[in-house]
Structure 1
Amino acid sequence: MVDKNDSDETAEFGAGELTPAPQDPKNAIIEALLELAGERNWEDITISDVATRANVSLSTFREFFPSKGAVLAAFSRKIDRIVLDGTTDDLIGEPAKERLFDVLMRRLDALAPYKLGLEGVSDWAKRDPLGAAALNKVVVNSMRFMLEAASIDSEGVVGGLKLQGLALAWLRVLSVWFRDEDLGLAATMAELDRELTRGGHFVERAEDLNRLASPLFSLARALFERRRVSPDGYRRRSSEARDERAAS
């Protein structure tokens, strides 16, 4: 004789057809998308596929995300949080390049479980210019916080160049990382070192140019402000000019 409670429990869990909903649906969706990105082309992954893999309903997916791209952005923020939470002042006295090298290597450590899926995302970006542009914004936002974690300024004109330059350098580092099977990541570390060295030289030149150009910009702004005339002043000068021409 089968106890009714045992029968109900078997019907719900025993067959293995139903699994409990995840306690953290948002994270389950992120994990599911990265898994699927490692298994098939990005263009072939539907929102329904992600929801099914995450064991959530479509309405639950929609509650947290409007698109697959939004899931990617949330994944990037998740990795940002891991890196930032692990940041200390241990390297505060080291050169900027060493501090940033440490931050980005820790980012690679956080990305390691998702390597296959990220390679799939990278392949998609190479095929889709619009997707690449959207992905670039996500990477730039993450690099802003990676620079902050390394105590490197990212404000102003030069800061903007740092951000975009670092984002492009990071994508080149990832392309090496995808193929690097060495547990010590020797090739990846060498590429990261080269990119940061190259970027450092570029930033130095940009800062020199900015210092040289700043006085010129200030002078041009002062001249522009001096030449500005209010609407009433412009009309008064125009009227005086007409009167002078009529008198002559």
Structure 2
Amino acid sequence: MAKKADLSRQIIDAAMKRAADKGWRATTMADIAAEAKLSLADIYRIFPGKPDILRGFTRQIDEAVLSGGGEVDEGETPRDRLFDVMMRRFDALTPYRAAVESISRDLRSDPVAAAWHACSLRRSLAWMLEAAGISADGFAGALRVKGLGAVYLAVMRVWLTDDSADLSRTMAALDARLRQAEQFSRTLRSRGGAPRPDDSPAQPGVTA
């Protein structure tokens, strides 16, 4: 019998393929089972619903990013470390780009699902900060997560159409956005103020 982790990846890969081919909204659990060559009962035991598959996909990307880095290099600036972490994320997402585009498009027309998934994405972005040696705890951490969410959204728009072999357009956009965020943070600190983080989703319609 296949291990649960192997079955999870098999199901997620099947779901992403169907999402790329026919759209996330149009993809049914039966479609996913057929693509994965598994029974509906096999799918249900691991992922009771499509939102659970999305959460599993996000975790799969998180694990790929977190396992791909070594110890934090204190000789690098926080911005450089975060750049490396986020590019690992976009690299991990690239094989699934068509599916991500489909899912993101469909989530924009489903506010409830988008809000639910945004909570999962915020947790992921907090882990990305931690992987870069930047605390995501407390009030300041909440601000950092929110700021990184804005950066991620803007760069993802570029990544979705980046057909360069080395994702050079994505890298340029990420570098520019992180520099802007760094400058904004410095300006806030110099003025002794900070915006109040709220509980709104990082961005409806953004996945993984």
Which TM-score tier does this pair reach, normalised by the shorter chain?
A: 0.7 to 0.9
Q: Contact 1:30–1:74 (CA<8 Å) still a contact in 2? A: yes
* CA distance in structure 1 between the aligned counterparts of 2:88 and 2:180, rounded to whole angstroms: 21
The answer to whether structure 1 residue 104 and structure 2 residue 86 are counterparts is: yes
- Give the C-alpha shift of residue 191 in structure 1: 1.1
- Give the C-alpha shift of residue 198 in structure 1: 2.2
Partner of 1:75: 57
Partner of 1:61: 43
- Give the C-alpha shift of residue 22 in structure 1: 6.2
Mind listing any 5+ residue stretches in structure 2 that lack a counterpart? 195-208
Q: Contact 1:22–1:56 (CA<8 Å) still a contact in 2? A: no
After superposition, give the CA deviation of every residue in 1:188-214 in whole Å (9 maximum; x if it has no partner): 11111122122223334555326xxxx
Provide the aligned C-alpha RMSD in A: 2.0
Aligned residues: 191
* CA distance in structure 2 between the aligned counterparts of 1:192 and 1:25, rounded to whole angstroms: 34
Partner of 1:36: 18
Q: Write 1 or 2 for the structure with the bigger share of helix.
A: 1
| Structure 1 counterpart SS, 2:89 | helix
| Structure 2 counterpart SS, 1:166 | helix
- Give the C-alpha shift of residue 115 in structure 1: 1.1
Considering Cα pairs closer than 8 Å and 6+ residues apart, tell me whether 1 or 2 has the greater RCO.
2
Residues 205 and 136 of structure 1, relative CA distance in 2, 3 Å threshold:
farther
- Paired residue type of 2:58: S
Q: Contact 1:25–1:56 (CA<8 Å) still a contact in 2? A: no
Percent of aligned pairs sharing the same letter: 36
After superposition, give the CA deviation of every residue in 1:190-248 in whole Å (9 maximum; x if it has no partner): 111122122223334555326xxxxxxxxxxxxxxxxxxxxxxxxxxxxxxxxxxxxxx
Q: Contact 1:162–1:203 (CA<8 Å) still a contact in 2? A: no
- Paired residue type of 2:85: V
The answer to whether structure 1 residue 146 and structure 2 residue 122 are counterparts is: no
Q: Contact 1:136–1:167 (CA<8 Å) still a contact in 2? A: no
Q: Which has the larger radius of gyration?
A: 1
Q: Contact 2:72–2:133 (CA<8 Å) still a contact in 1? A: no
Residues 169-180 of structure 1 correspond to what in structure 2 (within 5 A)? 169-180=151-162
Residues 1-248 of structure 1 correspond to what in structure 2 (within 5 A)? 24-89=6-71, 91-205=73-187, 208-209=192-193
* CA distance in structure 1 between the aligned counterparts of 2:155 and 2:28, rounded to whole angstroms: 29
Partner of 1:18: none
* CA distance in structure 2 between the aligned counterparts of 1:92 and 1:111, rounded to whole angstroms: 27
Tell me the TM-score normalized by structure 2.
0.84
- Paired residue type of 2:148: L
